[in-house]
Structure 1
Amino acid sequence: MGSLLMSVLAGLKVLDMTRVVAGPTATQCLGDFGADVIKVERPGEGDDVRHVGPPWLIDSEGNETRESTYFQAANRNKRSISVNFQSEEGAQLLRTLAAKVDIFVENFRPNTLAKYGLDYESLRKNNPGLIYCSVSGFGQSGPYASRSGYDFLMQAMSGLMSVTGGPEGAPMRVGVPIADILAGKDAVIGILLALHQREKTGEGQSIDISLFDSQVAAMANTFTAWFNGGFEMPRTGNDHPSASPYGVYRTSDGYLLIATFNNREFGRLAAAVGRSDWLDNPSFNTMGARVAHRHELAAELTGILVKQPREHWIALLNAAGVSCGPINRMSDLENDPHFRERGMTVTLPHALSGEIVVANSPIRCSVSMPEYRLGPPVIGQHTVEVLQEMLGLDQPTMTDLATRGVI
């Protein structure tokens, strides 16, 4: 854990009006590096993803709760306040908070928050240094801007599903909400750029992040193949469209992943499995030839691999400098020595379960390390604390607001 003095974003305050995955991913990252993130949730309902289950969180007595494990993935290092911003008093509370923060992050459809005076143009009047980041499905402009947009839809419309899955089957989605995650990380980059610019000018700015844009920008070689070569990348399942051998192969007791991306690596693989003659075979001695004859090469390679167990080949091939590894489930990953040595789990306190295990930040700086102060909150866990601290509200005032459903 990093110390407070070393937390690079310590002192920054973030008003977080996001839910589900993309926005919360962004604000969690800011919180990991010291920002004070105040998560705004609807009274009684909270973030939509709290209710996306099963699986459900298990409480400290071993009972199933109605709180999803999904929510826990992107909401540590945040304080939750419960405010009904659809009421004028609730909206005013948030407008007052927004005048006191550095960063405002939201993921409503474009123009939704303008109805409550919570849009960028309204808030910047009282806080010209405000950095206002909008995360939406399709962005703040364009013919699709008003549409709702979840990760699955973005995987479809960006072209990702067109290259995911087997050649004979239906297009497939990636098994995690990758467009959400990418958009969240892009939001962090945009916010950090805006902070750097503010250091120079004192002025904030608005940031427009869309899941659609983030996923399109991540299409990499699939994008450049079409726009520069007129070539539609096909679905190739576990095979790489431009490299071979590069995929999943069977051993005597299961499967493993082998990846070679150039002739040098292929040479090391051929030597390791006792088939250096492949280097003289015109069907295998160049990458293009191996791609053209991938099925023939896979059959020969599999014929060798099935003679020994998976762990034999993983040890032998890695020792030979060939990229190779197991296809892990989460239960395998938990016991993986590299995973454990890298410290990829963090245990945090939780109001319902006592403690909770989440993934460590993948960002490892030599000085500015992440710190883990707070477990994911329950709905409104910090409402009283934040409204007293930042707005100076007394208990009778908050009791009245709660009675009337404002908080």
Structure 2
Amino acid sequence: MAEQQRFRAAPTLGGMRIAFGSETWAPSVDGVVTRLRATVTELRRAGHEVLLIVPDGAGVREHPDGVRVVELPSVSSRFVSGGRIFGLPWRGPVERALREFRPDLVHVLSPYILGRAVLAAAESLELPVVTSFHQDLATAARHAGLGLLSGPIWAYLRHQHGSSDRTLVTSQAMAELLPRHRIEPVELWPFGVDLERFHPRRRDEAVRRALLGDHDRNDVVALYVGRLAPEKGLRRLYPLARARGVRLVLAGDGPMRNQLVEDLADTDTLFTGWLAGDELADLYASADVFTFPSNTETLGFVLIEALASGLPVLAADSAPTAEILGGSSGGAVVAEHDWGRAPQLIRSLLTPSRQTVSRAARRRSLNWDWTVATEALVDIYRAVLQVDRLRAPAAS
């Protein structure tokens, strides 16, 4: 025990040392990556030190200045999650990195595969650990016709999150769900959005004309942003693809792309591939309505970015979606059986004018800010460290 006490860095009153373990860091339209990148940037700006433990080949060289990065060997297969990279759970390199970095606290996002090694190393070094829950795998399995896997999935998640001091969730809906599956204690990690980058002023008629293609300028550009994967409910968008007066634009990539291209070959659906940064922000602001067909999300970052861009939203009915929209007239929810009416619902949403619903969408986002969200996260870290310090004398 004395050796572990010597290892432990004394938490400072100012900046902390935070080690993050993440299953991915790829530069893609991914809510977990979006949140982590923004959080790391804000932590560095506030004077905290950061270590990232991520899979190799996952875009790790695109990170804020001063961030230390450890890449673990990874594997991928085009038959699994569309070729997504998975880091191997090698504990040795992780433990060496943590010993060298001497973090105050370890935060593991979605501790599934690579996260197992980070959790084991942190436990060996008796470091305080926070985990965060970002994907409702059990619900996704049920929607994929694999409901029998729900029980084993929750059992595995209980095991993974059970070794942490606190599990963070991204919405109040998840804060209510996890305790029902005996994952506790949980705490809300507030969300944020880059309100300067995602802004209605980026609306560009030249971009909109390019999105419309041969369509009439008065037609509606209906945008989807995200992974092209079965759990996203993308077949619900087929009525929009075939509706007169609507141009469906799908921004993203994933294992379902080829199937979508085949199914929608008789339509003029536009596939843009992955977009990011200012190009993505211009796309949001220049569309007319955002479509969000997934009801398996724990939050839905693209939904938040769309609202900040002044883009009215047509979204699948779910607890996290209702939490984000909050009754705003800048969005409407669609029951699972009602997506056949999506073209009519969009026209109703845009009445009396797009400008009116755009302003309502933007107003809904104005209280969401990454600085505020990260300050709340730091408060959670400090609370965990305080409990850990009180425990230490008793443990010795």
| TM-score calculated relative to the size of structure 1 | 0.33
